[in-house]
Structure 1
Amino acid sequence: MAGGAKKPLNVFRLGDRDDPKEVFNWRLWFAVISFGLMGAARGVDEGLISGAFNSVDFQNTINYDSYSKVEQTNIKANVSAMVQIGSVGGALFAFVVCDRIGRLWATRQLCVLWIVGIAIFMGANGNLGAVYAGRFVAGLGVGQTVVVGPVYLAEIAPASVRGLCTCVFTGFVYLGIVLAYFANYGCELHMSDNTHKRWEVPTSLHIIFAGLISILSFLQYESPRFLVKKGKHEEALRNLARIRHLPEDHEYVLSELNAIQVSHEAEMEATHGSGWLGVVKEAFLVPSNLYRLYLTAMAQIMSQWSGAGSITLYAPDLFSLLGITGDNETLLVTAVFGIVKLVAAILCALFLVDVIGRKRSLLLGISLQAISMIYVASFLTDVPGMGVDEDFVLPESKRGVSRGAIAMIYVSGFGWALGWNSMQYLLTAELFPLRIRALATSIAMTLHFANQYGNARAVPNMLLGVDAGGISPKGTFWFFAVVTALGGLWVLVTVPETAGRSLESMDRLFELPWYKIGLYGNRDAEQRDLVSATKAQEAGMPVGEHREHADNTARV
């Protein structure tokens, strides 16, 4: 290595990438935290809206009691899910913004939309239409966070810690949830429910996070990969050197930049430099890219309909359903639930995703989630009156089983944080070539929010009894259990391991026939890497250039 730099001790890395110790510096971690904060956008909303809606003052301002039970259910579902509807448009819009004005300015404009939407929501004065409109506009901003944040993090992170860096985004999802849950709990304890402050004070967390993210964006450097895409190679070199905390002429920096340039040139040559239509064609007509789109699409469908997202959104209601009584106790149990998910996300980021790999971490999380859903569904089957009969009283003999079901909700949240909720962002951000990355991520996140909206909108009605048009609580959880189990089988067969592989060499995973990629893609890619490195050595190529050679060969 140049300058005789010692290889850093990094327990989080999967494999040996010969990274200089300077690469893991404060600028990298500051950027990771700054863009990871965007994860809090979704978490804050999911954690706050149920508390706001359960506020007596908020219900009075929209004349909630004047509606029938079914109408109340629909209004609650619509208000809760309106951010997801807006986020569908936001996720699609993010592709255009990311590729036109860059990752930094995309961040700033989404924060403006986010703040404007929340301001409309808080100033609605009970007008249900304005409530819907405000949450829709906020969704346009929130929907872009899941594209801009993970894409930027994946593009600036060294391959050896890319999983850790991208999973910070997921960790902040749960930080947002925890802060939101405890804000609701604190306001329930210390504020009168007959004042707007009871729900407006927690809701102000949206504005705090959006403002902080916007300010921090002015202290960051634009993604070198985006700059290469725009032909700004000198600026890309300067930014990459700053982020890596190395001189511009350092072998590591030049090698990485060259790999990015060769990769992009190969993509441009393959599509003859065509415009946005060429990008779309490349995404859908190149078989390996189409398979990657299939992976990300199925990941969104399986993850969202496994039920964990709706459990987060409607946690207070579900804990009440399983036997927790009293508003204070319900909100406290819900807040602890948020802490459990935050701890799981931290453990996944630090000790799993870059150590045991993406696929094993995902399968571990899905297994915990499936066991939890089966237990809760079995409990509700054994006690069919829970959540269906308003006059039902839980027998004393079933209280222990009820506590077990509540504990299993915690286990499901832990599994969700280890598995689906981390991987749905990480895999989407790292699978695709630079030229189509923003488009592919936008498509995946559009499906993310479309399915999240469908799930958030459907669950309140699904929980209703059969007579009211639902499938009952037990039917809802059996549905979640089946989808979770099917998702685990699908991951085992179709998803390859991506840990430790540079973004420019990701194509190597998809050189097998599609039906072999999930089971044998990683082993085949490692064999091809070995052959490439052996040929490089035989050609007399310096050791420091082996990685560059392997990455470039994978693209050309």
Structure 2
Amino acid sequence: MGILALVEDRPTPKAVYNWKVYLLAAVASCTSCMIGYDSAFIGTTLALDSFKSEFKFDTMSKSAQDLLSANIVSLYQAGAFFGAFFGYPLGHFWGRKIALLISALVFILGAGLMLGANGDRGLALIYAGRVLAGLGVGAGSNITPIYISELSPPAIRGRLVGVYELGWQVGGLVGFWINYGVDSTMAPSHKQWLIPFAVQLIPAGLLLIGGSFIRESPRWLFSKGRREEAIRNLTWVRQLPEDDIYIIEEIGAIDQALEEQRSSIGLGFWKPFKAAYSNNKVLYRLFLGSMLFFWQNGSGINAINYYSPTVFKSIGITGANTSMLTTGIFGVVKTVVTFVWLLYLIDRVGRRNLLLVGAFGGSVCLWIVGAYIKIADPAANPKTHMDGGGIAAMFFFYLWTVFYTPTWNGTPWVLNSEMFDPNMRSLAQACAAASNWLWNFLISRFTPQMFAKMEYGVYFFFASLMLCSIVFVYFLIPETKGVPLESMDQLFEIKPIRNAHAQIIAKLREDEENFRHDIQESGLAASKMGAEQVEDTAVEAGKYA
């Protein structure tokens, strides 16, 4: 198969790949816009002279400033950690749609609190607002990938969950550039640093408005016994009639999966907890999903996202405005490469290969950047202009971005959204999202101290972790592209892992051929029976005549 070919589990009508499923994914992904914007804007906002002046940073020691900045940044991740678990009961009892709306409302409340902070009131409102905003995005980070994956045809599921990652990068792009804009066009003032905080309300408002009109997940409706509504939503999303063979097959697969869960795990709220505790296979997969986010954060991405001015200063970039410009370019590179990942890579190259290539290439780049800082020591030998070595270090830093962004940035979210059966998916996604926010919190909390103590060693530390992730992925993570959600259990049972994808796709195609053959045989039998009945009727009529 060519790199541009889609891997389909069965013949799929073109109508299935329609605008509606993309629109639903885009609306839900406003959640990731909120996350991406925060990860990008907060570090550069804290670096604004107007913010430092209003909250009297100049009266503090360097270590006290680092601690204050770390607290402001990391409270958001702490809230998100608990929000990820909060999203589980929301999604289970009230559905994916209501859960997304609640997460948007909580985030708006938190963002609104931050706008009330000033020098006289202190930072208390910012602290409280960031915890609440974190609760909102934590719940959203749990629900959004689940919602999108449950709507997606298998062949483009990675692309659609990738829209979630694209929203992250678009939000980040705005966040990286917003402070460069206010720093370049406005004099230092209360309004200057308040504008970046206010912009948070835009993606949250879009989610609240758009979320009021999106359709509930058919898979969730089936699990709650709301069959007629589920079929209506499924046919609306697929743009196919209820009697189309594709719809019949999909409903049959969902019914079969739910029946298997009913007889094994169960469909209740506490059943997944019991399964995770008592079923080693489920517990193992939860471990894999959570560890993917350990390795993702082990790449150093969130150290760079939240403290980009510190990172670029360590390479030798001087001047606040120049640092913000360099950070803005970093955001552009990430966004452009994310489009390539979304449109061409995730559903063609696959999840597993992307992780392996990204880890190796990214590690090499970080070793080179760290070696330059060790040899040149820009902090002890400041220069007004970057020399050839500094330019080369910046090149390899941006090359690291090119390796990391289309691989480890979004692929762990795709894998976690699809590698669990429907009844375990909400709890599993809660654990995965909480794992992401836990490692995110630790990185954001201690990055300033790491740079202060380790200097160039920070880059070697992250480069080493990226090499270790190669071993983890190669031996433990199977390829999942094109595999239906209902067949993930079978995929993980195949050993060795590197051969699992080819075997499961071959089995699915064989099952599909058998199913269609049975349908045709049933049709021929029915036609033959009908013909015999007509013949018998004619004979009887002749006798009567």
Confirm or deny a common fold (TM above 0.5).
yes
Matches within 5 A, 1:118-157: 118-126=111-119, 127-157=122-152
Name the SS for the 2:240 alignment partner.
coil
Matched ranges for 1:101-250 at <5 A: 101-126=94-119, 127-193=122-188, 195-250=189-244
Q: Distance in 1 between matches of 2:506 and 2:239?
A: 32
Q: Which residue of 2 aligns with 1:405?
A: 393
In 2, Cα distance between equivalents of 1:49 and 1:208: 16
> What's the offset of the Cα at 1:55?
1.6
User: Match for residue 437 of structure 2?
Assistant: 449
SS in 2 for 1:231: coil
Deviation at 1:541, TM superposition (A): 4.4
Partner of 2:39: 46
Distance in 2, matches of 1:27 and 1:533, equals: 26
Specify the code of the residue in structure 1 equivalent to 2:38: D
Query: Matches of 1:536 and 1:18 in 2, distance apart?
Result: 12
CA displacement at 1:517 relative to structure 2: 4.7
Aligned equivalents of 1:544, 1:150: Cα separation in 2: 39
Report deviation, 1:502.
0.6
User: Of 430, 443, 447, which aligns to 1:459?
Assistant: 447
Alpha-carbon shift at residue 81 of structure 1 (Å):
1.4
Q: Aligned runs of 1:63-82 on 2, under 5 Å?
A: 63-82=56-75
1:345 aligns with 2:349: no
- CA drift of 1:490 comes to 1.2
1:398-547 equivalences in 2 (<5 Å): 399-464=387-452, 470-471=453-454, 473-512=455-494, 516-529=495-508, 532-533=511-512, 536=515, 540-542=518-520
Which residue of structure 2 lines up, in the alignment, with residue 283 of structure 1?
Answer: 276
Name the structure 2 match of 1:37.
Answer: 30
Unaligned 5+ segments in structure 2 are 524-545
Partner Cα separation in structure 1 for residue 331 and residue 277 of structure 2 = 38
Contact map agreement 1:85 1:453 (CA 8 A) in 2: yes
Inter-CA distance 60–253: structure 2 relative to 1 (3 Å threshold): same
Contact preservation (8 Å) 1:47, 1:181: yes
Query: Structure 1's 530 and 209: CA in aligned 2 closer, same or farther, altered over 3 A?
Result: closer
Question: Which residue identity lines up with residue 496 of structure 1 in the other structure?
Answer: P
Q: Counterparts of 2:513 and 2:33 in 1: how far apart (Å)?
A: 45
Q: In the TM superposition, what whole-angstrom CA distance separates every residue of 1:506-530 from its partner, at most 9, and x where no partner exists?
A: 1111113xxx453232234245435
Which SS does the other structure have where 1:125 is aligned?
A: coil
The residue type paired with residue 511 of structure 1 is E
Q: Closer, same or farther in 2 for the Cα pair 1:498/1:139, shift >3 Å? A: same
Whichever residue aligns with residue 131 of structure 1, its letter is I
Q: 1:542, CA displacement in angstroms?
A: 4.4
Is residue 378 of structure 2 the alignment partner of residue 386 of structure 1?
yes
Distance in structure 2 (CA, Å) of the matches to 1:17 and 1:37:
31
Shift of 1:144: 1.6
Check conservation: 1:495, 1:517, Cα contact below 8 A.
no
Counterpart residue number, 1:552: none
Instruction: Output the TM-score relative to the length of structure 2.
Output: 0.91
Q: In the aligned structure 1, how far is the partner of 2:500 from the partner of 2:281?
A: 12
CA deviation after TM superposition for structure 1 residue 374, in Å: 0.9
Q: Whole-Å Cα distance in 2 between the matches of residues 121 and 488 of structure 1?
A: 41
Deviation at residue 234 of structure 1 after TM alignment: 0.7
Is the contact made by 1:40 and 1:209 (CA closer than 8 Å) also made in structure 2? Answer: yes
Which residue identity is paired with 2:435? L
Closer, same or farther in 2 for the Cα pair 1:10/1:156, shift >3 Å? Answer: farther
Cα offsets for 1:162-187 (capped at 9, x unmatched): 01000111111110111111211111
Single out whichever of 141-150 and 448-457 deviates more from structure 2: 141-150
State the 1:60 CA deviation. Answer: 2.4
Which residues of 2 match residues 368-383 of structure 1 at below 5 A?
Answer: 368-383=361-376
- SS, match of residue 124 in structure 1: coil
CA separation of 1:335 and 1:264: change in aligned 2, threshold 3 A:
same
Identity across the alignment (%):
30
Paired residue total:
520
The 3-state SS of whatever aligns with 1:276 is coil
Deviation at 1:98, TM superposition (A): 0.8
| Aligned-residue CA RMSD (Å) | 2.2
1:544 & 1:242 partners in 2: Cα distance?
28
**Equivalent residue letter for 1:449:** W
Specify every segment of 5 or more residues in structure 1 that has no aligned partner in the other structure, as ranges: 1-8, 465-469, 546-556
Cα drift, residue 386 of structure 1: 3.0
Alignment check: 8 A CA contact 2:316 2:382 kept: no
Provide the rounded CA distance (Å) in 2 between the counterparts of 1:199 and 1:517.
54
Secondary structure of the residue aligned to 1:419 is helix
Structure 2 Cα separation of the partners of residues 106 and 272 of structure 1: 22
Where 1:318 maps in the other structure, the secondary structure is: helix
Query: What code does the residue aligned with 1:154 have?
Result: S
For residues 489 and 248 of structure 1, do their structure 2 counterparts lie closer, same or farther at Cα, with a shift above 3 Å needed? same
C-alpha deviations, 1:38-82, integer Å up to 9, x for none? 211111001110121112222223222222211111111111111
Q: Secondary structure at the match of 2:6?
A: coil
8 A contact 2:75–2:130 mirrored in 1: yes
Letter in 2 for 1:491: V
With normalisation by structure 1, the TM-score equals: 0.89
